[in-house]
Amino acid sequence: MTLPPDAPGPSVPHLLLGVCDYPEQVLQDRWAPYARQQRELGLSFVRIAEFAWSRMEPRPGEYDWAWLDEAVETYAAQGLRVVLCTPTATPPAWLVRAHPEILPVDDQGRVREFGSRRHYDFASPVYREHSRRITRAIAERYGGHPAVAGWQTDNEFGCHATSRSYGGASAAAFPGWLEKRYGSLEALNAAWGNAFWSMEYAAWDQIAPPVLTVTEANPAHALDYARFCSAMIAEFQAEQVAILRECSPGRFVTHNFMIFESGFDHYEVSRGLDFATWDNYPLGMLEFFAPPGYEAQKLEYARTGHPDLVAFNHDLYRGLLAGVPGRLGRGGPGTPAGPWVMEQQCGQVNWAPYNPLPADGAVALWTAQAWAHGNDVVSYFRWRAATAAQEILHSGLLRHDETPDRGHAEVAALDLEGFPAGEVPARVALLHDYESLWIYDLQPHSAGLNYWAQTLAYYSALRALGADVDVLHADADLSGYAVVVAPAITLMTPERAARWTAAVEAGARLVCGPRTAFRTVSGGTPEGGQFGPLAGLLGARLLQFDSLRPGLETRVAGPGGEHEAFAWAESYRPEAGTAVTHRYVGGPLDGQAAALCRPGGQGEGVVIGAHSPALIAEVLRGVLGRAGVDTTDLPPGLRLSRRAGRTLLQNWTAGPLTWNGIQVPPVSFQVRPD
């Protein structure tokens, strides 16, 4: 078959829309009307089949493709481009009962049973074989179909705490992975510091996953287990990607990542993809995934979500494959290069502690923000609300009775030509690293702080100053950025330190947060203490750190006045040539350095030792000004995002806001020329 003449052309000048649909969950007489309605709504893409393994292969080796053949043809007849998924997030009952060894084990030693989803161990050789088999089967059948624009692998790696299995195949494979990494038990024992508490190993098979210990496991052991489990996901992903490339040339391959998912290294797992996609649920994100510090804002932003939580994930996934050559251009005519939002909330969700209806205008606002942060496609979840099983309380563009829901009207009213394709002109890079996340959160030392909370404090301060931000890996190419912000990169290597130093010497202004370079690659501390290989660049050493419970006040004084610190404060011994810009006032750190600035080459290195949003904002405002990056003080809930020569002005609050003489109504946006 061929696509209709009104199918998308050879280039995509503006944002396109899609939807997630489930033909296997409704009667077949609904397929054609749904596809027609989707096209009439202005949608271009439909994602299908991520949970349909039991329909594709109802019994071992017995495939039923007739229903999927018909579904794909039905969408194609309306000019919709299809994103097909490998169905491996939901192995069918017959496979689980025949091979119960594929099931994962949680951190309490319990086997996670069949009857939901994501019930497999990434390291299982049995499951890997079946994953490759079903991937090849679906790719060979549909890989050359002209309506198939691309592929999504699996679904939401890590969802429901499934990135790590602590028994079965993973437990069996871990010692061999360690032996390959370290070469000898002597090297492993030294790297892990196993002389502490008599934890030394005399044989590889003595090593188990780091769970069910009497007190906390050795953090070096836990860090390496996180690396191992991430490597298993990367291998699993790479096997599917290789088959899809072989059997479906010219189509894109992506994966839909999760909100603030921490269980694996997304940079490692995304290698080989054409672009990243992620699943955006702003209300559930605020209720369920928000890090410490957002409790007071859950009511204020209950019906819109918090703008900076959403924006951070957009910027993270836009930058996931930054600098990777040869990754764009697959998918055929009319297919954007990405990134995408693969699942966009369009009504209430069902999985957070509270699941309010979005405010009027929120769905359109989320769509506009996604465009402004670099997404080429926004795909709504889902077409029709499910009438059975676990997600029956989750909304769709259609209600259960097939009438258009509130989100449907907002999608219909969008002017897509007002969202042109183009670049996000960020001059600020914010650095992120999953290994730093793991080792930070293994020993947070403060109940009021974790890696995401510290990182978001700096990101939110930049956004409140009107800055556009690229979120990049801590080892990314930093050339071209005026300001580089490293909020919580606690794991430091000599190579990373050299790269940052070169960026500062070339003119970048580097801002580091607390605990920067506090850990080595093995999870220990540098023999010379913090800042290890960054000590020369930052011109200081750690003096004290202080974990602050709520109500235990510590203040910081500087040119902008006094600011209160929360959860964490650390002080430094500055070297000659390093300026102390802020000092602690009162308490055990009284008079000690709280923030520093050291010139280097054509740039500078700045350190902030206290977790204090007001202090962070003051320091960043000064750094951005010295770097020539324009700033503007935005009222709470108002945000600016720039793309393709236009500025998106957004109001995320329930009341009108005014900025620079422009009034923005509640829960709305305006696209304005730069």
User: What does the block give as tokens for 639?
Assistant: 């945000």
Length of the chain: 674
- In this prediction, residue 328 carries a pLDDT of 42
Over residues 220-240, the mean pLDDT reads 98
pLDDT of residue 11: 54
The interaxial angle of helices 219-247 and 125-142, nearest 10 deg, is: 30
Q: Is the pLDDT of residue 239 over 60?
A: yes
Q: What is the pLDDT of residue 516?
A: 98
Asked if the model's pLDDT at residue 138 lies above 80, the reply is yes
Mean pLDDT of 78-88: 98
Q: How far apart are the first and last CA of the chain?
A: 44
Report whether pLDDT(325) > 60: no
Taking each helix axis from N to C end, the angle separating 434-442 and 451-464, rounded to the nearest 10 degrees, works out to: 120
* 3-class state of residue 258 by DSSP: coil
**What's the confidence (pLDDT) of residue 336?**
73
CB-count burial class (<10 Å; 0-12, 13-18, 19+) for 384: buried
How many percent of the chain have pLDDT more than 70?
96
Q: Write out pLDDT tens, residues 297-306.
A: 999 999 999 9
* pLDDT at residue number 12: 75
Strand partners, 563: 556
The answer to whether residues 573 and 598 touch, using CB atoms and an 8 Å cutoff, is no
The whole-number average pLDDT for the span 222-230 is 98
The single residue of 57, 261, 343, 435 carrying the catalytic annotation is: 343
What amino acid occupies position 354? Y
Instruction: Give CA separation, 652 vs 369, 380, 546, 552, 668, in Å.
Output: 11, 20, 35, 33, 7
| pLDDT tens-digit map of 4-31 | 333 333 357 999 999 999 999 999 999 9
pLDDT, tens only, 633-660 = 999 999 999 999 999 999 999 999 999 9
Q: Tell me the C-alpha distance between 479 and 493, whole Å.
A: 19
Q: What is the pLDDT of residues 167-193, one digit of tens each?
A: 999 999 999 999 999 999 999 999 999
Please name which of 560, 623, 555 lies closest in space to residue 592, comparing C-alpha atoms.
555
pLDDT (tens digit per residue) in 473-505: 999 999 999 999 999 999 999 999 999 999 999
Confidence of residue 323 (pLDDT cuts 50, 70, 90): low
Among 50, 57, 156, 604, the active-site one is 156
Residue 565 backbone phi and psi in degrees, to 5: -100, 150
Give me the pLDDT at residue 8, please: 38
Helix axes 31-40, 66-77, angle to 10 degrees: 30
**Both tokens assigned to 5:** 């003449």
Mean pLDDT of the chain: 95
User: Is residue 402 flagged as an active site residue?
Assistant: no
395, 336 Cβ separation under 8 angstroms: no
Nearest Cα to Cα of residue 593 among 581, 605, 611, 602? 581
Query: pTM for this structure?
Result: 0.96
Tell me, what's the pLDDT at 659? 94
Contact 465, 632 (CB under 8 A): yes
pLDDT at 334: 63
In this prediction, residue 332 carries a pLDDT of: 56
What mean pLDDT do residues 86-95 have?
A: 98
Catalytic residue status for 57: no
Asked whether the beta carbons of 51 and 14 are under 8 A apart, the reply is no
Q: Let me know: does 562 contact 555? Beta carbons within 8 Å.
A: yes
Tens of pLDDT, residues 35-60: 999 999 999 999 999 999 999 999 99
